[in-house]
């Protein structure tokens, strides 16, 4: 359970932390920085660390620290779905209306309609797709062409595999005709495809902050 007192009354500085399987992504209100899971030290004095976590091996350690506050129990589970990644939920919390793309090891695409979550889908990330093609044939061991002509079926191998991944993703996202926000480690790459989109590397932190404010004001 979340500690109500911590959420509402503490005067300590606030740090946000998004924990993945290999790294912890921090935001102290001014600066975003990463730490490796391997070298991570959970002793952070004189601050409250609000976190989301998909890494089960770290959870026990964090629960022993009174200044680490898990935001997962604060999520309105009825709004989303059982088993939806907490990082996806937080990115959606930051967007009232539009498509949210989180491009990391997987690419998640979620749709918000005036505050209502409308569902979403998952593709393998850019690196995973590249590996998948390379494992099929050495001829497909190539990088993707992000300058691909989206209006024409390709007639060369690199564009054929780029189209089979990027054009299909582009087509599905664009057909919903909604504003697009991209976050995650590959946001800049995908931005080359979705030229009109907004890139926001702090989107998950924005969602976390909004959730904290909402709970604190209750």
Residue 75 interacts with a second copy (CB under 8 A): yes or no:
no
- Which position among 29, 115, 119, 179 is part of the footprint of a second copy (CB under 8 A)? 119
Residue 198 interacts with a second copy (CB under 8 A): yes or no:
no
User: Does the active-site annotation cover 102?
Assistant: no
- Which position among 116, 118, 188, 216 is part of the footprint of a second copy (CB under 8 A)? 118
Q: Which of 88, 87, 94, 89 is nearest to 78 (CA)?
A: 89
Residues 14-33 that bind a second copy (CB under 8 A): none
Q: Which is nearer to a second copy, 165 or 205 (CB)?
A: 165
CA distances in angstroms from 79 to 39, 66, 74, 76, 192, listed in the order given: 36, 28, 12, 6, 32
Residue 65 interacts with a second copy (CB under 8 A): yes or no:
no
**Which tokens hold the place of 54?**
């998909």
Q: Active-site residue among 87, 110, 159, 200?
A: 87
Residue 132 interacts with a second copy (CB under 8 A): yes or no:
yes
Q: Which is nearer to a second copy, 64 or 82 (CB)?
A: 82
Residue 144 interacts with a second copy (CB under 8 A): yes or no:
no
Residue 135 interacts with a second copy (CB under 8 A): yes or no:
yes
Query: CA dihedral defined by 160, 161, 166, 167, rounded to 10 degrees?
Result: 30
In the beta sheet, which residues pair with residue 111?
99
Residues 154-173 that bind a second copy (CB under 8 A): 154-157, 160-161, 163-165, 167-169, 171-172
**Which tokens hold the place of 164?**
């089979």
- Which position among 50, 51, 133, 205 is part of the footprint of a second copy (CB under 8 A)? 133
Residue 146 interacts with a second copy (CB under 8 A): yes or no:
no
**Which tokens hold the place of 144?**
């993707």
User: By the criterion CB under 8 A, which residues form the site for a second copy?
Assistant: 80-84, 105-111, 117-125, 128-129, 131-133, 135-137, 139-140, 152-157, 160-161, 163-165, 167-169, 171-172, 175
Which sequence positions are flagged as catalytic? Answer: 87
């Amino acid at each position: 359970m979340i500690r109500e007192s911590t959420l509402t009354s503490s005067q300590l500085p606030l740090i946000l932390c998004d924990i993945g399987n290999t790294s912890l992504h921090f935001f102290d209100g001014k600066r975003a920085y990463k730490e490796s899971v391997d070298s991570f030290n959970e002793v952070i004095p004189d601050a409250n660390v609000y976190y989301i976590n998909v890494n089960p091996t770290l959870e026990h350690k964090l629960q022993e620290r009174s200044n680490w506050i898990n935001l997962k129990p604060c999520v309105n589970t009825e709004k989303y779905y059982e088993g939806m990644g907490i990082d996806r939920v937080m990115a959606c919390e930051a967007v009232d209306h539009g498509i949210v793309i989180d491009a990391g090891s997987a690419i998640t695409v979620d749709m918000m309609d005036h505050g209502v979550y409308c569902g979403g889908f998952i593709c393998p990330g850019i690196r995973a797709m590249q590996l998948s093609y390379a494992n099929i044939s050495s001829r497909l061991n190539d990088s993707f062409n992000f300058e691909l002509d989206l209006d024409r079926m390709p007639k060369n191998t690199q564009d054929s595999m780029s189209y089979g991944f990027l054009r299909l993703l582009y087509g599905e996202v664009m057909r919903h005709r909604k504003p697009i926000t991209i976050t995650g480690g590959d946001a800049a790459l995908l931005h080359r495809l979705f030229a009109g989109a907004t890139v926001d590397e702090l989107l998950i932190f924005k969602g976390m902050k909004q959730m904290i404010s909402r709970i604190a004001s209750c």
